[in-house]
Amino acid sequence: MEANKNGLNTEKENTDHVVKTVISAEERAKLTPDQILQEFLDGNERFRNNNLTQRDHSELIRKSAFGQYPKAVVLSCLDSRVPVEDVFDQGIGDIFVGRVAGNFVNEDLLGSLEFACKVAGAKLIIIMGHQHCGAIIGAIDNVKLGNLTTTLSKIKPAIKMSQNYSGNMTSKNEEFVKLVSENNVRHAISTIRSKSPILKEMEENREIKIVGLFYTLTKGELLFVD
In order of their start, the domains of the chain are 10-224 (3.40.1050.10)
Task: Report the DSSP beta bridge partners of residue 107.
Answer: none
Cα–Cα distance, 26 to 31 (Å, whole number): 9
196 CB contacts (<8 Å, ≥6 apart)? Answer: 110, 113, 114
What is the rounded average pLDDT for all residues in the chain?
93
| Side-by-side strand order, sheet with 209-215 | 95-99, 72-76, 124-130, 209-215, 222-224
Nearest to 19 by CA among 62, 50, 55: 55
pLDDT-derived band of residue 17, with 50, 70 and 90 as boundaries? confident
pLDDT score for 14: 53
3-state SS, residue 101: coil
d(CA 45, CA 49): 6
Q: How far is Cα 149 from Cα 154, in angstroms, rounded to an integer?
A: 9
Taking 90 as the threshold, does the pLDDT of residue 3 lie above it?
A: no
Of 9 and 215, the structure prediction assigns the larger pLDDT to 215
pLDDT digits (tens, 9 = 90+) for 67-119: 999 999 999 999 999 999 999 999 999 999 999 999 999 999 999 999 999 99
In contact, 87 and 47? CB cutoff 8 Å: yes
Distance CA 111, CA 108 (A): 5
Rounded CA-CA distance 118/14 in Å is 39
Residues 68 and 122 sit within 8 Å (Cβ to Cβ): no
The size of the chain, in residues, is 226
* Among the listed residues 137, 114, 127, 128, the one whose alpha carbon sits nearest the alpha carbon of residue 200: 114
Q: How sure is the predictor about 203, in pLDDT bands with cuts at 50, 70 and 90?
A: very high
* Mean pLDDT across 169-189: 98
pLDDT for 63 equals: 87
Interacting residues of 47 by C-beta distance below 8 A, sequence separation 6+: 86, 87, 88, 89, 220
Distance spanning both ends of the chain, measured CA to CA: 52
